[in-house]
């Protein structure tokens, strides 16, 4: 099976399933905005190789591409005006996703094809990668609180380099599993460390300049999404030299990030708590802090509603594309459309929302858009335009616009709910808790989709609706 092929439903949210989809390896249970902690759109896996229905699915995307270029230039000007440390973090986010999505989307095909692993074993390996990454984000966040971001990022990058090199030469099942676990755990270190530090720097920048913190966080998300868009086609080119070449190239990207942070990242970041003020709670105390913060738990549940809905890009959407067209050809184009739309709209939409809405209102509007996306997909199933892809296009568009509002808003909200010395713990816990909800929710979601027709989509619309109801009260603009 080629890397472009994807089964109808793979259960990406849980890391379960047994297909050999190229995209599944790149989809974590994390936070969705195109970083490793946030599942990327996987765009490009098929976009460069397939045509047909997909061309109709993205009619008009040329206009979006031109607008994306103009807005990208404006975003680049915004980035160039930032201090050095946020620039390093934003550039790192882009590089992380380029290196990650150049390799991992093609892992399943390598395991099942070149190594001949059984389907259930492929699913197990991918599930273990997801668990070792998303489930342990809270560990990386806690270590960041204790030691600061720099050593945690450096350790994570070093482990990722070792993991990719190991995976490139791994042949036996045990060796493959160990290397994939190392790759996942590496992200559990550097991703929450970088996310914690960019949030801290965004708050500091807001206090110094008056510019909303969501602006910097939006640029961070755009960088991650751009890496998600660039990584898969780069990986497809690298695969011409074999999977090992792709792994070594991915390792080289992370080695470059490691060198950059080693040279440029200060040992004590501006605005970071002093060593004496850092908190590293014991397990029991950490649980007490998390469970005792009701507003954070409410935010986590609301975010989990978004994330479970987001994972339908890799569960419900492939099934709908298959139903409408009889193949998966259009799926890559739809995912590419999502990436382009995200990049084009992230900064202007966040600028508009920051000027008019509280954080809670922005979060609720984002969840409402996703709810409308599910309902719109259900309502438009009889429509035959765009080769039957209207429901898929409606869903992907609404989901992406909702994602644009939700992800930076949630990141910006966390510092208002927790003490700065525990920011890493809570940033990591957000990903771990929401990932657990996705893990548990993907099974009933998959069962619903077996019913077929519009009913599953209408029922799935209740997920973001429940998230909107659970959103904590009071959120500053």
Residue 55 pLDDT = 45
Q: What is the pLDDT of residues 57-87, one digit of tens each?
A: 444 445 545 655 665 565 566 666 788 899 9
Helix (H, G, I), strand (E, B) or coil at 193: helix
Measure the CA–CA gap between 232 and 42, rounded to whole angstroms.
7
Residue 271 burial (CB count, 10 A): 16
Q: Would you place residue 370 in the very low, low, confident or very high pLDDT band (cuts 50, 70, 90)?
A: very high
Mean pLDDT computed over every residue of the chain: 81
Complete DSSP assignment for 333-402: HHHHHHHHHHHHHHHHHHHHHHHH--HHHHHHHHHHHHHHHHHHHHHTTT--HHHHTHHHHHHHHHHHHH
Residue 474 pLDDT = 62
pLDDT at 393 over 80: yes
Q: What is the largest CA-CA distance in the chain?
A: 64
Q: What Cα–Cα distance (Å) separates residue 37 from each residue in 28, 198, 300, 357?
A: 7, 14, 14, 26
CB 162 within 8 A of CB 107: no
Residue 41 pLDDT = 47
pLDDT at 30 over 90: no
pLDDT at 399 over 90: yes
Q: What is the value of pTM for the model shown?
A: 0.73
CB 141 within 8 A of CB 429: yes
Mean predicted confidence (pLDDT) in 292-307 = 94
Single out the residue of 443, 470, 335, 469 nearest to residue 389, CA to CA: 335
Put residue 413 in one of left, alpha, beta given phi > 0 → left and psi -120 to 50 → alpha. Answer: alpha
Q: What is the pLDDT of residues 117-155, one digit of tens each?
A: 887 788 778 777 877 887 889 999 999 998 999 999 999
Question: Cα angle vertex 423, ends 222, 162, to 5°?
Answer: 65
Q: What Cα–Cα distance (Å) separates residue 201 from each residue in 78, 120, 236, 453?
A: 15, 43, 35, 47
The CATH code of domain 24-470 reads 1.20.1250.20
Measure the CA–CA gap between 20 and 108, rounded to whole angstroms.
5
Mean predicted confidence (pLDDT) in 4-25 = 37
Single out the residue of 238, 405, 203 nearest to residue 310, CA to CA: 405
Measure the CA–CA gap between 310 and 70, rounded to whole angstroms.
27
Residue 421 pLDDT = 85
Residue 315 pLDDT = 81
pLDDT at 319 over 50: yes
Residue 378 pLDDT = 94
Residue 267 burial (CB count, 10 A): 8
Measure the CA–CA gap between 217 and 202, rounded to whole angstroms.
7
Token match 């086609």: residue?
Answer: 233
Residue 79 pLDDT = 67
Mean predicted confidence (pLDDT) in 340-363 = 92
Q: What is the pLDDT of residues 239-248, one digit of tens each?
A: 889 999 999 9
Measure the CA–CA gap between 281 and 244, rounded to whole angstroms.
41
Mean predicted confidence (pLDDT) in 289-309 = 93
């Amino acid at each position: 099976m080629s890397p472009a092929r994807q089964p109808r439903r793979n259960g990406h949210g849980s890391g379960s399933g047994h297909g050999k989809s190229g995209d599944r390896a790149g989809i974590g249970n994390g936070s969705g905005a195109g970083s490793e902690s946030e599942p990327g759109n996987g765009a490009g896996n098929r976009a460069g190789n397939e045509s047909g229905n997909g061309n109709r699915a993205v009619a008009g995307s040329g206009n979006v591409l031109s607008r994306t270029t103009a807005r990208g230039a404006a975003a680049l000007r915004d980035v160039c005006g930032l201090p050095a440390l946020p620039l390093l973090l934003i550039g790192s986010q882009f590089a992380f996703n380029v290196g990650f999505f150049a390799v991992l989307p093609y892992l399943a095909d390598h395991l099942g094809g070149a190594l001949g692993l059984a389907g259930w074993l492929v699913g197990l390996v991918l599930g273990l990668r997801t668990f070792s990454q998303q489930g342990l984000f809270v560990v990386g966040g806690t270590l960041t609180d204790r030691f600061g971001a720099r050593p945690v990022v450096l350790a994570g990058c070093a482990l990722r380099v070792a993991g990719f090199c190991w995976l490139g030469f791994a042949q036996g099942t045990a060796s493959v599993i160990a290397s994939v676990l190392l790759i996942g755990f590496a992200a559990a270190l550097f991703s929450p460390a970088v996310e914690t530090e960019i949030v801290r720097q965004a708050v500091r920048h807001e206090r110094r300049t008056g510019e909303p913190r969501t602006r910097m966080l939006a640029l961070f998300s755009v960088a991650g999404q751009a890496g998600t868009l660039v990584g898969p086609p780069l990986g497809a080119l690298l695969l011409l030299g074999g999977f090992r070449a792709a792994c070594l190239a991915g390792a080289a990207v992370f080695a470059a990030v490691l060198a950059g942070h080693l040279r440029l990242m200060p040992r004590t970041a501006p605005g970071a708590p002093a060593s004496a003020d850092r908190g590293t709670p014991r397990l029991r105390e950490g649980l007490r802090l998390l469970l005792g913060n009701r507003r954070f738990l409410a935010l986590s549940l609301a975010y989990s509603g978004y994330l479970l809905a987001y994972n339908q890009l890799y569960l419900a959407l492939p099934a709908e594309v298959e139903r409408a067209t009889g193949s998966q050809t259009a799926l890559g184009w739809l995912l590419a459309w999502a990436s382009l739309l995200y990049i084009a709209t992230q900064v202007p939409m966040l600028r508009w929302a920051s000027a008019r809405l509280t954080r809670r209102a922005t979060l609720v509007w984002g969840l409402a858009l996703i709810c409308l996306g599910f309902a719109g997909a259900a309502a438009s199933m009889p429509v035959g335009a765009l080769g039957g892809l209207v429901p898929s296009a409606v869903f992907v568009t609404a989901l992406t616009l909702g994602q644009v509002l939700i992800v930076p808003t949630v990141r910006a909200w966390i510092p208002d709910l927790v003490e700065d010395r525990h920011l890493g713990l809570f940033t990591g816990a957000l990903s771990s808790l929401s990932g657990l909800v996705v893990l548990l929710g993907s099974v009933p979601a998959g069962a619903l989709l077996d019913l077929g027709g519009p009913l599953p989509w209408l029922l799935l619309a209740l997920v973001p609706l429940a998230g909107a109801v659970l959103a904590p009260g009071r959120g500053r603009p």
